[in-house]
Structures are given as C-alpha cells and as structure tokens.
Copies of this chain bind each other. A is one copy, B any other.
Amino acid sequence: MKLLIIEDDKHLSDTIRETTQGMFETLQAFDGEDGLFLAEQNIFDVIILDIMMPGMNGYEVLKELRSSKIETPVIMLTAKDGIDDKIQGFKVGADDYMVKPFHREELLLRLEAMVRRAGGSFKENTLYFKDLKLNLKTKSAEINSEAVKLNGKQYDLLEYLINNKNTILTKEQIFDRIWGFESDTSTTVVEVYASNLRKTLKKYGYDNYIKTFRGLGYMLSEDGDN
C-alpha cells in the first residue's frame, strides 16, 4: 500500500509518515508541483493533500489531478475550519477532509475508511480476477483452490495489474510502483517479470490476459483473445 503526502510543513509530514508506518509505504512531497508530478504517476493508494502551500495550492493540485483522470482517493488537509473550504474541496473532487490539528486515531480511521471505500482492501484482504484469487495478507495466489507459486515481485506485479485491470500501465509506472523511484536498477526488469509472470500463469491459461502495447506498456485485460 502506497501513500503520498503532499504537505509543505516538514514536521507534520514526518509525523503522518510515522503514524502510518506499517500500514503504508510513504512518499513525501513538500510542494504542490512535486506532489502533482508524483501523484500523476498513478501508483498510490491514497493521497494526503494540504491546501495551504506556497506556489501551487492543494485545490489546484487536485483539479489538475482529476482532469488527468487520476482517481486516487484524496484526503485534504487545512488549518482553516471554514465551511467554504470544504465545499470547494469536494467540488474539485476530494474524497475526505480533515482540519488541522487532528488526532492520530482520526487520521488512521479516515485512511482506513478511504481505502476500503475505494474498492480497496484494507481489512478486505482478498482480490479477485476471474477465478484467480489473491490473498493480500499472505501475498499468495490461487486459481480454483490450487495454489500458484509466485515470488515476491511477481506477486507485486500481479496485484498491481489486477488493481488496474483494463488500463494500460507504462513500464515506468510499474517500475516506480514496485521497485520505487530511487531504485537504480533498469526498467527492463519489468519485461523480465512480465515474462516470468506469464510463464507461471500459462499453466492455467491466464497468460494471455496480460497484453503488451508496443511503445505504451502493459495491461491486464478481461478478454483473453487477440
């Protein structure tokens, strides 16, 4: 699970990061521009977004993000308690809203609710694609009650693909999501893992749901023909 915190107050950002560690793998952006750039990679499960920031503010970031058709759930943060802010926040597509300062537990509850609502799987720890069943907790997979042996990164790839079925994911997105931004390995590992995953899924005829789009990326498609 990946969380992006866009917040110019470094101290608060770090506090959130610590509060949520264990639940999320966190990335921090300290201004709107960087935040937007990261968010547009579409590799996060939730975004915490401060409104008052120098330069590009939270509303602008969110507006941009939504108009790029990125639907990652967003929790807006603000110091003000005015109702106007809330209205404006929701109008541009915020999913939830928190007034600073807030309690640890409130944050955790809202995060949990957020992810769950987004079809996500927090307490729900299974994910399905046709007859393929992923257990998120144990990072294991099975097809028709038969266990499928997947190693760590293969599993990660499959989970990411299922979470984004029917949309093309670029090699860069996949790489950033699974290997992380600062990893210095080459993005060709993605090809290797795509190949590995297909190979292990072939046995069940699930390999040809993984389509490659030359020059664009990969997609897990619900129809296996072509």
Contacts and interface: CB of A to CB of B under 8 A. Distances in A.
A138 B168 contact: yes
A55 B106 CA distance: 10
A123 interface: yes
Interface in A13-51: 22, 33, 37
B216 A69 contact: no
A199 interface: no
Interface in A113-140: 122-123, 125, 137-139
A139 B216 CA distance: 9
A55 B138 contact: no
B69 A152 contact: no
A137 B217 CA distance: 12
Interface string A55-75: 110001000000111000000
A104 interface: yes
6 contacts: A22-B37, A33-B105, A55-B103, A68-B123, A151-B214, A152-B215
